[in-house]
Each structure stands twice: as C-alpha cells, then as structure tokens.
Structure 1
Amino acid sequence: MIKKPKILNKTPNLTVLHAAKQYGLSEFQAQLVANRTDSVEQLDKILFPQLKHIQHPGALKNIDQAADIIAKAIQGNGFIVLATDYDTDGVTSAWVANQALQNYFGVDKSRIQHIISERQTGYGITDEVVQRILNLDGQIDLVISADQGSSDEPRIQQLKQHGIKVCVTDHHQIPIDGPPASAACIINPQQAGCQYDKTVAGCFVIFLVMTQVRQRLIEHGWIDKETPSLKNLALNVALGTVADSVSLKSPNNRAIVKAGLQLINNFHSPAWQAMRQLNDNQGQAFDAEFLGFQVATRINAASRVSDVNTALKFLQAETIDEAALYLEQLDSDNLNRREQQEVMLKQAQLQAQQNYKDSSYSISLKLTGNPGIQGIIASRIGEQYGLPTVAMTDLQDGFLAGSARGIVADVDLRQAFQWMSEQNNELFTSMGGHKGAAGCMIPIEQFGSFQSLFEQAIQNQLGDEAPAPTIETDGELADWQLVPQLIDEISQLEPFGREWPKPIFSGRFKLLQQRWVGQTQTHLSCKLQSIGGTILQAIYFNARQDDSEQLDITTGQWVQCAYEPNLNRFAGRTSLQLRLTTLLSA
C-alpha cells in the first residue's frame, strides 16, 4: 500500500519577508515570496521581471566565436542546417533560429534545412540525424545544433570528417569526457569557465547566440544597423522555457517568460490566434500554466505519436487558417497520445503495485507501447508514490529506452546515472539529461542490473530513510481570504513554474457532499465547509485510478486537504473553487 502523503507547511525566510514588503508587497504576498527563496539578492529582478534584466549574452563562453562562424555561414551560398531536439524546447529552438536567419538576417528560405531528431531513435545528434545531414543534396556551410549536441562527439566527428562544421548550442550537462572536441565551437552554460546562468533552456541559448550574430552582422555592415532587435522572438522562447521545466526563480527565465507572455497575449501571431480559437482559457490571459499544460502538451504529442515537423509548421504558419490546420492535427495527436497513455499507465500501475515496498527508494518499470509516452508515465507514477521513477519501453530491437523523473528534490538523476555507469560499463548505450529529468537507452538484458543499481544510487543520495510522498504548502488561509480577489493577489507574483511554484495551501474542512464525475468517473467533485463556516466548491482530478477504487472518506467527516485556489466562472458568476491535490482523513 502506498504511503499516505505528508502535508508540510513551508517556513518563510524572515529576511526575505521583510525585504519583499519593502518593495510594496502585501504581508500575504511577501510570505509567498519568502517561501520560495532564501536570498534577497536580485529580489527586485525576480519580483519585477523585465528584458533589460537579462544577463548579457557576452557572458556565454565562446559566443563571439559562434557569432563569427554563423555570420560567415550567412554570407555563403550553401545550406545552413538547424539540427534540434524533438521536444518543445527543441522545436522552439528551431523556430527561433529560423526566424532570426530568414526574417532578420535575410537568409533565403531555400538555404535553411530543418532536421529535428526523431523521438523513436533517441535524443541528440544520432546516427540517423547524421545520415539525414549527409543525404542533403548540396554544399553544407554549417550545422547549428540547438538543445542537443554536447554529448555527441562521435557523430560530430563523423560530420567533421565529411568537411561539415558543427556549431553546438545546448544547455544539457557536459559529459565527463568534456565537450565535443570535433565541434567548431560549443555554446553551453554548463561548460567549465562559462559565467552564464546554468538554468536557461536550449531555446534561450540559441536566442542569445542569434542576438550576438545580429550584432556581428551589423558591425561588418552585412545588415542594416537599424535591423530590429530579436526581442519579439521572446514569445516562443517563453513557450520552450516553460515546457522544459527550467527554474522560474532565475531572473533570466522570469524575464523572458514574462516578456513572451505579453507578446503572446497580443495575439499578433497566427499560431497564437489559432490557439485562442481552440481554447480561449475562459477569456483569461494565457499564463505559464496554460503554456505548459495546453500548448506544450500538443506540441510534444507530435513527436510522440506522429510527425514532429507538424509542430514546427504550426509555429511558423503565416496565416491563421494555416496555423489552425496544423493545430487541428496537433490536437488529434494529443488525443491519440492520451489514449495510448491510459493503456500504458494501467501497465505501469500494475507493475508498481507488484514491486513497491515500504522500503523502496525508487521504481523502475519495463513497459510495452509507445516510447514517446514513457516520460509522462514516469511522472505520474513517481508523483503517486513519491519516488524517483524510470519508465522504460521495449523498442523491439534488443534495447529499452527509458525516461526518468527525480520527483524528490534532493535526487540528482544525472549523477545517479553516472554512478551506475561506473559500476557497470555495459549498462548504458546512451544517457543524458538534467538533475530532475533524464533519459537513457540500455540493452534489454541489462534491465535487472539497471533496476538494482538505480535503487542503490538513489539510496546513496538520500541516506537511511526511504522517501515518502510529500506535499509542501504555503500554509493555511483564513476564511476572509477565501474570495476571488485572492487570485488577483497571487497572480501578481507570476510567472509560476519550477522552483517558483504556484501556491498550494493546506486546510481542514468538513466534507458536505461528494460525487464522482468525468467520463472515467475518476474525478471527485465535492463541497467543503471550512472551520469558520465558509462553504466552497472543490474538484479533485484523478482522485482514484479507476471507477472500482473506493476512498476511505465519507460525507460528513472532517478532512485534511492540500489545494490550489482557482476561479470558477459559470452563468456570468465568478466564485472561488479549490483544486485539490490531496484529500486525507483528518
């Protein structure tokens, strides 16, 4: 049986609390801020994000070298190949680079070749990507990677042997062997000696590189000095940044997301006009949560079940009708992804139930199905059990592809994988990723070894006590705060995301009514009464796995909840609704 989650209230940093109030925040807002950072350094940039606060591109190691190489390629006649990853960060990276080259620097459309990795063949500049590049009919002046390339020395070396230069732009961890020696240059804030913010996404890195290229082209007189800045590209840099779950406590990421959301909500872009037609967010402005859950899911679905190029074509669409056509396909892909996900989730839940023990430090799953969905499965199972989780899919070729999610704050997956590879040098065919999310490929016969080594690696990091589901909240709210105006006060601290999470509160309520809703009858709609007598509507999505499961709560009893406050608009009326994340017997 899964351990019941612990609801813990955060302890605000009193120094930050006082400093935040000096910037004009209310006591409530200041406490939310003090629950999210222990440092007053750059607090003004965190609270009031602006593009002028972004760290100068010059802090990126090798950026001048990259600007020279790309500027020279722009003056050539051959292909400029944009080799990017298949997720939303990679797709938006491709969009940023293409927009800069074509619409700002005057590169003819026919010279730009997009080669986006295939999720099925693995992350990075794979052998398949190399072959697609080599198959191009014509001279190649430069390959620019984005959101990948740092771990791909063998393939980059192969391209170099064919006389093809590769400029790597990336944000993933540098392998122990160092950056790819065969690359013409590498721009990655993770490399030794780079002074740039380590938390930025791949699309942000290529955005900075293209900003520096613009400056170089102006210096050489190759484009007009009045050529606009690239700030309008922030709209889809914001999308890629949110989708890649990088830190939104970083002033750089907060600035680009805030600026991007402002541009998105102007709805001048055909893609975003089409998105509003499909889902207008109940008439509210699109926020970071909307980007992550409504837009990125559709873009990621393309590479999971269909053709990733549909996502890029959607972002590049020149008319709303064209954008709507591609979005219709993305929406269909997303529905297909959900159906496949439900099948694989049932497999995963059964395996997790069979293998889980109170003493477990991790969960490793061996599944059949679409490998593009395993990351979602790892997240869902990991959050359910409160454990680092790897979901692996049989590729039917002797290998398993895996996606891991750290779930527990103190876990470093990249470090765990590195330790595992040192214990068994035949374990990984490939691996990469971040502290909280990583991917790998292993021979199928190594699954047992992987399972035991992953468990040991996590135990090494966490110590003697196995982790349990934990929900950290911003404390309890008084009855007078449980009104729609609460949302306005919270929204002034946006954008929310990783390391700057949307507020979650805890509370004790009496359960007045409950009923199962939704097509699968797994969502719980209920009416709650606070200790002070306030009655509130609440919804608990995915409260149970299937319609046969029973919760150990009954109408009329007191319950302990963790929840997000939301607005519910119905029949012209606006009221506060609680979106429950946990519901326990009090």
Structure 2
Amino acid sequence: MKQKKINKGILDKLNHLGFDHLLGTIISQEYTGNNIDDFLNDEFSYGEYTKLLDLQEGTELIMGTVSSNIHIVIVIDYDNDGVSSGAIASIFFKEYLEYTNCSILNNEREYGNGINTVMVDQLVKLKNQHGDLLVITADHGSSDDERLEMLKKIGCKILVTDHHEVPATGNLKHADVFINPQRDGGNFNTNISGCTVLFYLLLNTYREYKKINYKFGIDDELYKLLPFVAVTIMTDQMDVSDKLNRDLYKLGIGHISASLGFWGKLIHSLRIPHHIDSNIIAFNIGGLFNTGKRMNSAKLVTDMMTATHPSLINRYMDNLIKLNADRKVLQQELTKYAEKQVPGYMKRFKKTIVSVLQEGQGVAGIVANTLADRYSRPAFVFTKVGEKLSGSGRSIGGLNLLDVFKTFKENHPDKWFRGGGHKGAAGCGLEYKDLMLFIESFETVCKNFTVDNEIYYNLEIPIPDVNLELYNRIYSLDPYGMGFRPPVFLSRITISKIFLIGKGKEHAIIKTCIDGEDYTLMFFNSATEAKKINTGDVVDVTFSLNKRLQYKKESVSIVIENLKVVV
C-alpha cells in the first residue's frame, strides 16, 4: 500500500493561503485540472454557454413552435441523464411556460440505444395524431442520422441535443438544429452531461422570453431544474475538477436540500441525511434513478420526477424503491454467474474480461463494473437477445473503451455494430456470431495497456479519529467524483470479530477493539476475501467514509476498500 503523490506546488500554495492542511493535502493529491485558482474560486458562474453552437437557433425554433401551438415531443434516453433531461424539459414547458401541448417519449433499454426503429414508429403515430411536430432529443441523437431522415421525410422538425461523440462528418444532415459541445468548431466546455446541454438551451430560451416580458408560471431563473442537472453531473461521471460542473452541482444540491416537494419526499423515503453530498447522490439517489434503465422502467422514473400531486409522487416512488430492491437481488445473482466464467476466460485472454449473460440486460453495466474492479481488467458484460448481443463496458486506468469500438469497426466494416457512450463507460450491440471478433479487437486495444495494481491511499488516519466532524470537514470540498476522487485513508487494525451479512452472505462486518472501544468496519461484496482472514489477524485497511441517517441521527460508516494481512 502506497501513499498518493502530493503536488508540492499546489500544497505550498494552499499552505500559503492558510488552508486546512488535511484538505490541502487531499486537493494536492486528487486535483487533476489545470487551473487551481478556478477550483478554489467560490464565485458562481453559468459559464459562457451562448458559445454552444446553434444554441440561439434552437431557442428560436422552440419559440416559433410554441407561438404556433405545435406539439413538442421530447425523446429521451433511458439512463439517468436521459430521464432527468425529460424531467427538466417537461417542467420547463408545462410549469414555466405553461405550455401543455407537449409530451415525453421514453426509450427503453429493450428497444436498443438511440433513436431506434421502435421509437421512429411511435413518432410516426404522434405525427399522424398531432399534425405538425417538433422532435427534441435529449442525451442522444448524434449517431442517429439514418433514423432522423425517416422523421424528416414525414415532415417533422428536429432539434437534437446531446453530448456524445458526433458523426465523422461533424454534423447531422437531417436535424434542423444540432446542439452538441463535441461538434467541430465549437468553443464551449465539452465535459458536460446531456442534461446540462439541454438545460442551457432552456435557460437561453427562458432569458429570451424574459426580454419580451413573457408571463411565466414560475419565474426563478430555472432553479427548479438545477437539482436534476446536479445529479447527472455525478451519475454520468462528468469531470468535477472543472469549475463549470462544480458550480452547477453546488447550486443544484442547494436546491435539493432546501426542497419540500419531490426532492423532500425522496430524501424522506430513502432515509438519507438532509445535507446531500456527492457520495449520497452516487450511491443512493443516482442508484434509484438508474433503476428505470436497469429494469426496463424508464417511464416510471420520468413519471415520478414530473408528477405534481403528492399521492402520485409517493406511489411512483414506492414502486421504484421496490423495483430497486429486485434489481439488487438480480445483480447479485448475475454477478455470481458472470464470475464463474472468469477463470476460464482469463486462461485464454490476458488483458480483458468478457462475460455473456442470458438475462439481466439492465444490470450488465453494474456487473461489468464489479468485474473490472475485482480483477483489475477492463470488462464487457453482454446479454444475449435473440441472435444479437447487447453489451455494457467499464474501463480501468484511463483506457478509452471507444477505441475498442473504433478498432472493431475498422477491422470489420461489413459487420453489424452499434456503439456509443464515454471512454470509461460505454455500450454496444453486435451479432452473437461476431463475439470472438469483438474480443480480438478488445485485446488488441489493451495489448500495450498496463494497469497499476498498487493500492493507494491519501493519508493515514487512526480509526478512533473517524467521526462526523471529520466527515463534514472532508466533504467541505464536495463535489468529489471523476477528476477529483474522494479520499481513501489507511489504518492498521487487529481483527476482533468477523462475520458475513446480506441475503447471500456477500458482505462482511469486521470489528476491532482499540483502547477498550469497539469499532465496526463494513466490507461490501467481500465474501471471498473475508474467508481468507481470521480473528486476531493484524491487517492494513484502506477505507472511505459514508454518512448515514439512523434513528434520525447522522453518523459515519467506515467502508473498507482494500485489506492486506500484515505478515
């Protein structure tokens, strides 16, 4: 186990500014940006969002559509970024503009990624029903020019908002307006969520309406939309060393904590602390919202987010919480199934992990993440759907999974393949018979990629020093996430007791006694590791901290990340 390197220049600067030494050390180890002054600057800014290409054209298209009372359909992806985008669009039109001639069309994972043929058929029906139609995509559309052409031919107006990779041409032929920070010639931050892209379009539209003294149903600079944006920054793993993402996150989180409506009910139902932080979003709120994606129930999440009557919110939320419990059981079962395939696979292939499941398409990404973490290899987990495979991949150590897709398509241009996402988390579809060709491409990309298997920590902290005050001190630097990882600490303990918990006995509780006081440490998904240690063993543990609410009182949990017996 090894301490992370300290950026001495940053630490010296923070010490000179009189910064808390503990926090200064964490910043000097974890900050990956290139402007520490921006990182430390608490002055809020929306950024120069008007630099987004075609933003004004998108606003003009929306305003013209509203003035003509044309039906607007918001077409959204099934993950949290997509459903949150649908929520902010629906709230903007119906509550801010009081424009009700609009609807949401949810994609479901079973239909495939992007604007697929099932969605095209549904949009054709809406066009026949409403006549003129404006289609606004959120968090997808950049790879769907072929399907957009079908919509264009029947007379739809199309406004694409997205943040994923753009076509090789740099533009979409069949969109009236295409707003994506990845476009060639753009001059705005490319590291923003799909929900953030749509938010900027709505903010620009709101401010244009302000100029003509539009009478809004709500008039608050779109603050009601910001909590959804904040959650997507975390769940879509945007870089939080970036000031823009940090500012949007902080403003959005402030409105979650102050909310008495939907967000207040969510906090109560999940029994989470009222002071929300990135840790709680990642493991509680984001996990619940992504249940829709994982269990083919994205519409349930959107309905919950946009409901206005308390009884409806409660009903949707209760259903989603039950569905999330089912998801956890399915995830555990499929992880065990996938792990049985790993030893045989690793004998044949040296750099990667690929597993094929017969069900559970929605939890494939979580299973892939578990395999990647556990075996220190990038992983893809596929689900067989007829003669096709639908896969989710998770990277490690900075490997770009999109390079795998690029290599496969270059080597096999005649093969059916769809892929997209981000370098660290991506999804794809291919023919079952082409799986070995995909694995070959995966191995090729990883051939010269090496993984540092060293276990790193930030600082040594004795277990008795862990308390709520320490947690709050550390999380004064929130948000933590991609680009500014949450700290991990080191301590040496003697195990006084160990036992397994959970329905499948997959988690371990480890107890230690120090100066007559008992302390409890959680070790999740550790049944295999726990069987290798015994009472009385002296171990070094690296651990992170979680905050929880128990009997209406906040406390801190110590969560083991890694454990090593001291010989």
TM-score, length of structure 2 as denominator length: 0.93
Aligned match of 2:307 in 317, 329, 332?
A: 317
CA distance in 1, matches of 2:378, 2:304: 34
Match of 1:103 in 2: 95
> What SS is found at the alignment partner of 1:441?
strand
In the TM superposition, what whole-angstrom CA distance separates every residue of 1:496-548 from its partner, at most 9, and x where no partner exists? 22222221112332223222223322222122367x99863211111125xxx
Match of 2:86 in 1: 94
Contact 1:399/1:443 (<8 A) preserved: yes
> What SS is found at the alignment partner of 2:527?
coil
In the TM superposition, what whole-angstrom CA distance separates every residue of 1:353-379 from its partner, at most 9, and x where no partner exists? 221249721111111102111111111
Match of 1:132 in 2: 122
Contact 1:553/1:584 (<8 A) preserved: no
Match of 2:506 in 1: 522
Contact 2:33/2:483 (<8 A) preserved: no
Match of 1:3 in 2: none
The answer to whether 1:116 aligns with 2:106 is yes
- State the Cα distance separating 1:175 from its structure 2 match: 2.9
* CA distance 1:175–1:409, shift in 2 (3 Å): farther
CA distance in 2, matches of 1:128, 1:38: 42
In the TM superposition, what whole-angstrom CA distance separates every residue of 1:533-572 from its partner, at most 9, and x where no partner exists? 9863211111125xxx763222222212110134577789
Contact 2:53/2:180 (<8 A) preserved: yes
- State the Cα distance separating 1:135 from its structure 2 match: 0.6
* CA distance 1:241–1:483, shift in 2 (3 Å): closer
* CA distance 1:19–1:439, shift in 2 (3 Å): same
Match of 1:377 in 2: 367
Deviating more after overlay: 354-363 vs 492-501: 354-363
The answer to whether 1:410 aligns with 2:388 is no
CA distance in 1, matches of 2:323, 2:98: 34
> What SS is found at the alignment partner of 1:53?
coil
CA distance in 1, matches of 2:219, 2:553: 48
Match of 2:539 in 1: 559
The answer to whether 1:422 aligns with 2:422 is no
Match of 1:541 in 2: 524
CA distance in 2, matches of 1:106, 1:284: 31
In the TM superposition, what whole-angstrom CA distance separates every residue of 1:154-192 from its partner, at most 9, and x where no partner exists? 011111111112111111111324332211111111111
> Structure 2: which amino acid aligns with 1:476?
E
- State the Cα distance separating 1:94 from its structure 2 match: 0.6
Match of 1:336 in 2: 326
The answer to whether 1:232 aligns with 2:224 is yes
The answer to whether 1:204 aligns with 2:196 is yes
> What SS is found at the alignment partner of 2:170?
coil
CA distance in 2, matches of 1:526, 1:454: 38
Alignment of 1:120-519 (within 5 A): 120-136=110-126, 137-220=129-212, 222=214, 227-269=219-261, 271-281=262-272, 283-357=273-347, 360-396=350-386, 398-406=387-395, 408-460=396-448, 462=449, 465=450, 467=451, 469-477=453-461, 481-519=465-503
Match of 1:18 in 2: 12
> Structure 1: which amino acid aligns with 2:520?
Q
> What SS is found at the alignment partner of 1:420?
helix
CA distance in 2, matches of 1:552, 1:361: 26
Contact 2:279/2:546 (<8 A) preserved: no
Contact 1:524/1:539 (<8 A) preserved: yes
* CA distance 1:403–1:427, shift in 2 (3 Å): farther
The answer to whether 1:584 aligns with 2:567 is no
> Structure 2: which amino acid aligns with 1:46?
F
Contact 2:277/2:475 (<8 A) preserved: no
Contact 1:536/1:576 (<8 A) preserved: no
In the TM superposition, what whole-angstrom CA distance separates every residue of 1:200-236 from its partner, at most 9, and x where no partner exists? 1111110001111122233455557994311331111
> What SS is found at the alignment partner of 2:447?
helix
In the TM superposition, what whole-angstrom CA distance separates every residue of 1:76-130 from its partner, at most 9, and x where no partner exists? 22211101111111011011111112222231x2x11211111111111111111
> Structure 1: which amino acid aligns with 2:502?
G
> What SS is found at the alignment partner of 2:326?
helix
CA distance in 2, matches of 1:106, 1:565: 44
- State the Cα distance separating 1:141 from its structure 2 match: 3.5
- State the Cα distance separating 1:46 from its structure 2 match: 2.7
CA distance in 1, matches of 2:405, 2:26: 35
- Percent identity reads 24
- State the Cα distance separating 1:53 from its structure 2 match: 2.1
- State the Cα distance separating 1:131 from its structure 2 match: 1.1
CA distance in 2, matches of 1:554, 1:125: 53
> Structure 2: which amino acid aligns with 1:506?
L
> Structure 1: which amino acid aligns with 2:260?
H
CA distance in 2, matches of 1:38, 1:343: 37
Deviating more after overlay: 226-235 vs 216-225: 216-225
Contact 1:10/1:474 (<8 A) preserved: yes
* CA distance 1:400–1:238, shift in 2 (3 Å): same
Contact 2:32/2:241 (<8 A) preserved: no
CA distance in 2, matches of 1:423, 1:155: 25
Contact 1:510/1:558 (<8 A) preserved: yes
> Structure 2: which amino acid aligns with 1:30?
G
> What SS is found at the alignment partner of 1:135?
helix
* CA distance 1:275–1:207, shift in 2 (3 Å): same
* CA distance 1:517–1:182, shift in 2 (3 Å): same
Match of 1:30 in 2: 24
Gaps of 5+ in 2: none
* CA distance 1:427–1:582, shift in 2 (3 Å): farther
- State the Cα distance separating 1:351 from its structure 2 match: 0.8
CA distance in 1, matches of 2:410, 2:159: 30
Gaps of 5+ in 1: 1-6
- State the Cα distance separating 1:61 from its structure 2 match: 1.5
CA distance in 1, matches of 2:353, 2:182: 29
* CA distance 1:160–1:571, shift in 2 (3 Å): closer
Contact 1:385/1:469 (<8 A) preserved: no
Deviating more after overlay: 301-310 vs 363-372: 301-310
Contact 1:404/1:438 (<8 A) preserved: yes
CA distance in 2, matches of 1:224, 1:330: 32
Alignment of 1:71-82 (within 5 A): 71-82=63-74
* CA distance 1:485–1:166, shift in 2 (3 Å): same
CA distance in 1, matches of 2:88, 2:187: 23
In the TM superposition, what whole-angstrom CA distance separates every residue of 1:253-297 from its partner, at most 9, and x where no partner exists? 11111111111111322x22321331222x442222222222222
* CA distance 1:30–1:426, shift in 2 (3 Å): same
> Structure 2: which amino acid aligns with 1:341?
Q
> What SS is found at the alignment partner of 2:72?
strand
Contact 1:524/1:541 (<8 A) preserved: yes
* CA distance 1:338–1:32, shift in 2 (3 Å): same
CA distance in 1, matches of 2:521, 2:201: 46
Contact 2:327/2:363 (<8 A) preserved: yes
Deviating more after overlay: 92-101 vs 210-219: 210-219
